[in-house]
Amino acid sequence: MKVKRIAIYIITNIALFIIACITIPKLMKKLTGKLYKKNIKKKNKKKNKKRCY
């Protein structure tokens, strides 16, 4: 019984690690892309305000 619990614990930890290794990079790509676009929009707004008199 104790060996079965340990085996289940190890298997679930490995599965969670694999899921995290797959999902975290995908989420980071989306997040950094959104932040990059947001910063570009801010810079463009600042440039447009400076040009308008």
The pLDDT value given to residue 52 = 57
The pLDDT value given to residue 53 = 53
Range 28-48 average pLDDT: 84
Tell me the pLDDT band of 21, cut-offs 50, 70 and 90. Answer: very high
Asked if pLDDT for residue 27 goes beyond 80, the answer is yes
3-state SS record for the chain: CHHHHHHHHHHHHHHHHHHHHHHHHHHHHHHHHHHHHHHHHHHHHHHHHHHCC
